[in-house]
Amino acid sequence: MTTSCVRRARRARTLAALVAVSWTASAAAQPKPASPAAQPRPASSAPAATAQPKPTSPAPATGDTPPRRAESLEIDDCGPKPALPADKLRQLAGEHYDRGDVLYVQGDYVGAVSELVSSYCLIPHYRVLKDIGQAYERQLEYSRAIAYLKRYVAGVPDDAKAAPCAPDPAEDKRNVSARIEVLSTLPARIRVATEPDGAEITLTGEDGLVARGVSTPGGGLILARAGRYEMTLRKPGFVAQTSTVVAEIGKPYSYFFQLTREQGRLTVQSVPSNARLFLDDRFIGIGRFDADLPGDRYTLVVEATDRISERRVIEVTPKHTERVVVRLSAKPQSGRTQMLIYGGIAGGVVLSSALSGTAGNVATIGGVAGLAVGGVSGYIAIPEDLPLGVSSLTITGSIAGGITGLVLSTGFSDADAFVGPSTALGTVGGGAAGYFLGDRLDITPGDAALINSGVLWGGVYGGLFAIAFDPPGSVGAGLGAGGMALGLATSTLLARSFSISRSHAALIDLGGVGGLVLSAAVQSIVDRGDDVTVERQTNFAIGGLTVGLAAAALLTRNYDSPALPNVQPSLGRVSAADGTATPSYGITGRF
């Protein structure tokens, strides 16, 4: 349309339309065209009604339900013509046409359509229909372009003559008909993107599956003929989505879908029941949680006061129920404070014992210095997270070692010079052995308390036997040291088979003390103030101690057990008669 010849041809077609209007206005004789479509249009609100009957819509593409109606065009609703003389009407129609021609060349196809339609409504002529159709084709509005081109083909008279520089009407009619066939088969271009990508896409029409594809980050391309389709997206682990797509001839479409994961159920129960629950750093409840969640991996965090927090990765499987029970362990108690205190005391004892054979107040001064050195050294060297069981066993080992050194040095040697160094050496060696064993065995505070009790009461038994039999010094010392060793061995074996708390061990120790007190009371009642030998008093003490320890151990045997033995929290689901499911919470166990 940019050459001068083409412009002259356009102008000639416009003049032909004006002439046709003039003939209509003057009622001049006009040769009857071979086709009714060539009849000139009357001046009415529907100018194209007689000149160009509406063609039927193109055959529906696969998936059209029902067949589409003939498309309503702008020229079907022109409205009344202005009341102007014929020459003014011709001039106005020509001006609209010329503006439409210029706008088409400039690329303003929307403006060109508006001007060409205005020209056609003033002076209907079939040649203008082709220009409108071509303008719509340039806009990619293929369905409207086809409708106008069909009107053009239907409106070309059989005896139409070629205008200057214009193709033969009959040949042009065949070419335009072929163009209509090409445009009618242009597929719609449908691009589909999903998050996440990789979803299978299917287009289903009235006759079944029409096309399929896969979503990609840039949009998976699917080609389909014009029609109405059901588009379905499927991806394993995600909810299928279906939507209706109305595709027009040759049109591009872009869709984006956020896929939703299929849901499973997560049920969480915590011990203790006041623990706080977090899912992916989001607070979800206290003690228990039960809800449907999209199938995915989640990070579950359970926290409670004075308990060790637990973090787990939970896999929620679609259409399944994941049941989780989390039991939080108590936080280990720190033994740093008691070790700091004992460190100062032990430092003073060690230095004063080591210097006990020196003259003057050197031992006293050494004890004070040892207290300071032990406290400062402990503050620097003892870690903040020292387990309470380790510190307890260290202290007991140190005391037992010091007593053992003292007893052995006094029982097997008459030289006072060995007492202090032996006591100091035993204190340091016993403490080192206790720390090493406690750290290697990762001993609990309860087990440490049980071993401490064994060493304590073993030493007491040994001492009582030594007092009762009044053997020579070395034998008595051996009984005392042997009693502590036997108590250590016995309590260690018990700790391997039983686990008790510190408070439970304290109750048993209290039973031993009570047994000693009770034995003294019983002995005083039985003997009624008579002279009593040390051996008899010692025998009563041994019996009372034994009865007290045994009775306390028996009476407190369930101290560390729950009120209901072997009780465990249970989670489940109960199905009602209508098929709905309700979460259930309870306890299970053996009695």
Phi-psi region of 227 (alpha: psi -120 to 50; beta: other; left: phi over 0): left
* N- to C-terminal Cα separation, the chain: 100
Query: What was the pLDDT predicted at 450?
Result: 81
Q: Is the pLDDT of residue 145 over 60?
A: yes
Max mean pLDDT among 106-120, 211-225, 488-502 falls in 106-120
* Mean pLDDT, rounded, for 517-545: 79
Q: What are phi and psi of 383, to 5 degrees?
A: -70, 160
Q: Is the pLDDT of residue 55 over 60?
A: no
Q: What would the pLDDT profile of 192-203 be if each residue is shown by its tens digit?
A: 999 999 999 999
pLDDT band at 559 (very low <50, low <70, confident <90, very high): confident
Max mean pLDDT among 488-497, 505-514, 518-527 falls in 505-514
CA 18 to chain centre: 74
DSSP assigned state of 307 = B
Rounded Cα gap, residues 301 and 312, in angstroms: 6
Burial class (CB in 10 A: 0-12, 13-18, 19+), 437: middle
Q: Is the pLDDT of residue 340 over 80?
A: no
Rounded Cα gap, residues 167 and 557, in angstroms: 114
Query: What was the pLDDT predicted at 240?
Result: 93
Which H or E run includes 327?
strand 321-327
pLDDT band at 59 (very low <50, low <70, confident <90, very high): very low
Query: What was the pLDDT predicted at 275?
Result: 92
Q: What would the pLDDT profile of 236-284 be if each residue is shown by its tens digit?
A: 989 999 999 999 998 899 999 999 989 999 999 998 888 999 999 999 9
pLDDT band at 7 (very low <50, low <70, confident <90, very high): low
Q: Is the pLDDT of residue 591 over 60?
A: no
Query: What was the pLDDT predicted at 356?
Result: 64
Q: Is the pLDDT of residue 479 over 50?
A: yes
Query: What was the pLDDT predicted at 65?
Result: 35
Residue 478: count of CB within 10 angstroms of its CB: 18
pLDDT band at 521 (very low <50, low <70, confident <90, very high): confident
- The reply to whether omega before 167 is within 30° of 0 (cis) is no
How do beta strands 252-258 and 188-195 pair? parallel
Rounded Cα gap, residues 204 and 230, in angstroms: 5
Q: Is the pLDDT of residue 109 over 90?
A: yes
From 255, 202, 252, 254, select the one nearest 230 (Cα to Cα).
202
- pLDDT averaged over every residue in the chain: 78
297: its two tokens:
């991996």
Q: Which residues contact 569 (CB under 8 A, 6 or more apart)?
A: 269, 271, 325, 585, 586, 587
Residue 496: count of CB within 10 angstroms of its CB: 10
Rounded Cα gap, residues 217 and 209, in angstroms: 24
The answer to whether 540 and 520 are in contact (CB under 8 A) is yes
Q: What are phi and psi of 254, to 5 degrees?
A: -130, 135
From 590, 582, 539, select the one nearest 561 (Cα to Cα).
590
Q: What are phi and psi of 312, to 5 degrees?
A: -135, 150
Rounded Cα gap, residues 190 and 22, in angstroms: 49
Query: What was the pLDDT predicted at 341?
Result: 78
Q: What would the pLDDT profile of 561-580 be if each residue is shown by its tens digit?
A: 654 444 555 556 666 566 66
Share of the chain above pLDDT 90, in %: 32
**Least trusted range by pLDDT, from 270-274, 494-498, 502-506:** 494-498
Query: What was the pLDDT predicted at 47?
Result: 33
Query: What was the pLDDT predicted at 396?
Result: 80
Rounded Cα gap, residues 333 and 161, in angstroms: 109
Q: What would the pLDDT profile of 427-436 be if each residue is shown by its tens digit?
A: 788 778 877 7
* Mean pLDDT, rounded, for 46-67: 35
Alpha helices in 55-212 (DSSP H): 86-106, 109-122, 126-138, 142-155, 169-184
Write the CA distances from 333 to 307, 358, 364, integer angstroms.
11, 41, 35
148: its two tokens:
């106008």
The answer to whether 262 and 320 are in contact (CB under 8 A) is no
The SS3 of residue 185 is coil
Q: Which residues contact 108 (CB under 8 A, 6 or more apart)?
A: none
The SS3 of residue 177 is helix
Residue 85: count of CB within 10 angstroms of its CB: 9
Query: What was the pLDDT predicted at 13?
Result: 54
pLDDT band at 147 (very low <50, low <70, confident <90, very high): very high
* Mean pLDDT, rounded, for 2-10: 52
* Mean pLDDT, rounded, for 393-408: 77
The SS3 of residue 60 is coil
Q: Is the pLDDT of residue 462 over 60?
A: yes
From 479, 480, 541, 534, select the one nearest 513 (Cα to Cα).
541
Q: Is the pLDDT of residue 539 over 70?
A: yes
